Chains A and B, each alone.
Chain A
Amino acid sequence: MVHALRRAAGRLHAGGTLISIRPHPTRRPLVAIVTGRRRLPVATLLETAFERNLDAAESALARVVEEDAFHLAGVRSARFRTYLERPSQMRTYLELIYPPRPRFPRGGRARLYEMWDAAPRGARIEVTESLILNALRPLTRGGLETR
């Protein structure tokens, strides 16, 4: 990842900007059932296989700043929500996420179905995810590409 960032720096104008958008490193996807104004949390999705990728991305971004390849211009995070009409759409939703995909903790899917069966008509399933965006500006164009 550090190499990819260095390569990208080498493709930028002096004064250019590198942007990284990726899943938030600590906020995990949250599944809830919403009925009107009520939001009933069901489960937080696990991303065990993804943890290493998230950690590696954070480390790589930190490293290129530490080694003076980039200046950190700023960080922003945001939440976004997806609404599903029924539990069976969860499978489709999870398959749309680039692998390795998050999954339910043990018993989480069964809990979703139980809560869904007890939910009033008009209920929806809400999945809340979070992203993080880092903006970096290279201090030396291509200077670190050959390291």
Chain B
Amino acid sequence: MATEISAYPREGLERRLIERFVSLRRKHVLEIGCGDGRLTFQIAPIASSVLAIDPDPLSIEEAAGEQQRRGIANIDFQVGSIERLSAAGAPFDVALFSWSL
């Protein structure tokens, strides 16, 4: 049987570390460098909203497809970078550089 291989921490580790400093509950979160949404989908269930951006259109397409499959409404996946992000939707409670700085 094939084993799913991940090069990232097991689910929940990053969220727990973040919440040592700031609760994500009902917060408006900006995630910079969301990739395929791996961490976004861990944050969204407790956050009020997540704007998740990544410069890679394929990753965003994959993330948006997964979002639709899961039926999650409070994530806005966008192709983009922090340098080019418009002020619309700001301000946020948390800005997260997830493996992207």
Contact = CB atoms under 8 A, between A and B. Distances in A.
Interface of A: 1, 3-5, 7-13, 16-23, 57, 60-61, 73-74, 76, 78, 80, 82, 84-85, 89, 92-94, 96-98, 129, 131, 133, 135, 141
Contacts of A3: 83
Nearest to B7: A96
For the complex of A and B, the 6 pairs showing the least CB-CB separation, nearest first, are A135-B21, A80-B9, A96-B7, A17-B22, A8-B95, A11-B90
Question: Which DSSP category, helix, strand, loop or mixed, fits chain B's interface?
Answer: loop
Interface of B: 3, 5-10, 13-14, 17-18, 20-22, 30, 32, 35, 81-83, 85, 87, 90-101
Among B7, B14, B20, B30, the most chain A Cβ lie within 10 Å of the Cβ of: B7
Contacts, number: 116
Given A17-B22, A19-B95, A80-B10, A4 B32 contact: yes
A7 B82 contact: yes
A96 B5 contact: yes
Contacts of A84: 3, 5
6 contacts: A4-B32, A11-B30, A12-B90, A20-B97, A74-B21, A135-B18
A96 B8 CA distance: 9
